[in-house]
Amino acid sequence: DAKTTQPPSMDCAEGRAANLPCNHSTISGNEYVYWYRQIHSQGPQYIIHGLKNNETNEMASLIITEDRKSSTLILPHATLRDTAVYYCIVRAYNQGGKLIFGQGTELSVKP
């Protein structure tokens, strides 16, 4: 079973920041938070991952609370092409193998 909880859907206006929350209250000390997204009819795409510090790359920022029980993925200037299902996944960094996907959040970016 997925170890994360996400809202099923969210809307965002084009050009505004999209903030996608994820709860992972049972996360272990050696588990990282990963985010993937899946655009319609495509395979999932890696976005970002982090342990406890905030992380930023060219796609997004990841904010993890101090107690690590929740996190937020931030798309700073959402575009229509960011419309997708976003998945938050927790797993140990040194654990090879499977990703356990939950239902994810369906983000709709509207003009």
Partner 1 sequence: GAGVSQTPSNKVTEKGKYVELRCDPISGHTALYWYRQSLGQGPEFLIYFQGTGAADDSGLPNDRFFAVRPEGSVSTLKIQRTERGDSAVYLCASSPQAGFSYNEQFFGPGTRLTVL
Q: Which residues bind partner 1 (CB under 8 A)?
A: 2, 32, 34, 41-46, 49, 85, 87, 91, 93-94, 96-104
When the beta carbons of 26 and 45 are compared against partner 1, the nearer one is: 45
Nearer to partner 1, 42 or 111 (CB): 42
Q: How far is CA 48 from CA 15, 40, 45, 111, in A?
A: 20, 19, 10, 25
Query: Nearest CA to 10 among 74, 63, 59?
Result: 74
Q: How far is CA 64 from CA 11, 23, 81, in A?
A: 22, 10, 25
| Nearest approach, Cβ of residue 86 and partner 1 (Å) | 11
Shortest CB 101 distance to partner 1, Å: 3
Length of the chain, please? 111
**Shortest distance, position 63 Cβ to partner 1, whole Å:** 20
